[in-house]
Chains A and B, each alone.
Chain A
């Protein structure tokens, strides 16, 4: 069912995509090439002395246990963010899809958090969960939970996951809602007539038909967790306590921007770039096959 539009003109299609390609080249490819180039260099902070060191930056990284540990942290973090983000927004979208009255108000409120910058989202949740003054902390204390993410690694992880997921739910929600609305009502009604309950209808009809959306969101969410969440982390835990929330991209930011170690930081971002390329290829080659379009 592929749609194809054929341009008669030889140059028009290229002219139409040219702006997009130019932007991609300038803002994505050029920096990426520069990062690769820097990753082979050792520079002082001011760029006064530059040495070509080959793969030394990479070797140093892979010798570092803490860097390897950071891979595990990132994997855990991304899985938590992607899965809970998708699950919660799918639930919300199915609910919102069934709402008859005031649907617009619900939808607007659910989309709202997307307009919030990651750093602000982080600060917001950090306030709610602040060890001595947070409202949530106060409630948890009443239940006998000792909440202090400043020193407890798993709680710190939970906090950054909550903040990151909360911010991303709106985006997922929008796509799921659009996906749900494009499912033909007749299919669901037919199933209902055949005696299928709501749960069964969801798993056998809605969920498979949503799979292209889910797949797309899975890719987007994993990329989000990998790259866009350093604002949340910088505003809350800054990678701590110990290194329990030090995900790869935050270390790139810390080493490159805060500590002015361009070579090491570039090497890390090259590795990160490689991981995301591999992940995307894997997702498209293997998971996409199971997706029904």
Chain B
């Protein structure tokens, strides 16, 4: 009894460090369901076991837009989490909310945790860094878009299964042969805007918008109606008309069309690999996304998708220390490598990439390395380091609507992309006005 009293007295006096002291809790809201959710929980558990002062509580809050909405509502009500996982299209919205977030660079500096943004792959870090070079959010899970080929279908159509098409011209040749061989669905894609507008632009070193794709300021405008864009989208429209391109939907519905063997060629996220590996009853390969060889400078590099972790404002200094400690934990090369191998997301630091290379993982699974090679194909330019458009959740919906009107034959590519630019710019102006 006396010992207990003494302990309580010491603890309340703040002298007693150790298990008796209440741990500082850090709330982390994320959007990783299923197997990825287990990965996230694993990271939190591992961190919690590695030290005694802080406890990270990971909570699944639904899809990316859902958890962002939940966090915005919570912030307005004064009960935001410490950490929030936000998908890449929400980046500009978060960045503009200066009073709602704390830049990662500041969190790390305040807590005196060592942090080197240069340790990250440039295409990854660039996406989340401001013009002055401060990293604003912590890169967490990054993917990019890859080109998948059903080798069995290629063999059946008399094509060389080990030579995946590299250019869209070669895709067209393969598509004709596949169609002639009775392949019902020749090519499909997931995430149409991300693949065919955003990554298409980066891969061909074309601007998606003015002001360095929006990095240079809110007064940016879309430029996705250039002749090259029109040519690409109208090519897809023609393929759709000829029955060589099957539209699957706005998110990842294309994944299942490829893994079930329905479609012979497919562009989708690196993250689709896990599902394909599990479901596919055929030989397949993963490749660089095709490019147009008549566009000078192509291929450049692809850009990332995925999410980063944002630190929300209005918390106690002690809690920020815990956040910084957690980030330091996540930055370790072995933690990164484990994440890369278990999830299929790309390794986001150079050290983790080198470490994975040395471990021999890529010898067994060369596809896993291709994503990194594609992201770092060339040093990123102003056109290919990413994009930063306000209200891009709406912007992307507009682009997708207009693309659908091309794929269904309602509009020609030029009209649709002009409309996308006009409607998209209205959204950008709205965002600019709201964030003056």
Which residues of A are in contact with B by a Cβ distance under 8 Å? 42-49, 51, 53, 60, 64, 66, 132-133, 150-153, 238-243, 246, 254-255, 257-261, 263-264
Q: Is the CB of A48 within 8 A of B98?
A: yes
Judged by a CB distance under 8 angstroms, whether B423 is at the interface is: yes
Complex CA distance for A153 and B408, rounded to whole angstroms: 8
Judged by a CB distance under 8 angstroms, whether B393 is at the interface is: yes
Complex CA distance for A23 and B400, rounded to whole angstroms: 41
Sampled A-B contacts (18; CB under 8 Å): A44-B434, A46-B76, A47-B75, A48-B100, A49-B434, A51-B433, A60-B426, A60-B430, A238-B250, A240-B401, A242-B405, A242-B408, A258-B65, A258-B69, A259-B393, A260-B68, A260-B391, A261-B430
A42 and B433 in contact (CB under 8 A), knowing A47-B76, A151-B247, A153-B408? yes
Q: Is the CB of B401 within 8 A of A242?
A: yes
Chain A residues contacting B98 (CB-CB under 8 Å) are 48
Complex CA distance for A242 and B407, rounded to whole angstroms: 9
Chain A residues contacting B405 (CB-CB under 8 Å) are 241-242
Q: Is the CB of B249 within 8 A of A260?
A: no
Interface of B is mostly: helix
Complex CA distance for A150 and B190, rounded to whole angstroms: 13
Q: Is the CB of A132 within 8 A of B97?
A: no
Complex CA distance for A241 and B406, rounded to whole angstroms: 10
Residue among B76, B248, B256, B394 making CB contact with A261, cutoff 8 Å? B394
Chain B residues contacting A132 (CB-CB under 8 Å) are 256-257, 260, 262
Q: Is the CB of B407 within 8 A of A260?
A: no
Q: Is the CB of A259 within 8 A of B394?
A: yes
A243 and B401 in contact (CB under 8 A), knowing A44-B435, A60-B430, A151-B408? yes
Given contacts A153-B408, A240-B404, 14 further A-B contacts (CB under 8 A): A42-B433, A44-B96, A46-B75, A51-B433, A133-B260, A151-B247, A151-B407, A152-B408, A239-B397, A242-B405, A257-B65, A260-B93, A260-B393, A261-B391
Residue among A53, A66, A239 making CB contact with B423, cutoff 8 Å? A66
Q: Is the CB of A49 within 8 A of B72?
A: no
Complex CA distance for A238 and B408, rounded to whole angstroms: 17
Q: How far is the CB of A170 from chain B (nearest CB, A)?
A: 29
| Residue picked from A43, A45, A151, most chain B C-beta under 10 Å | A45
Q: How far is the CB of B410 from chain A (nearest CB, A)?
A: 6
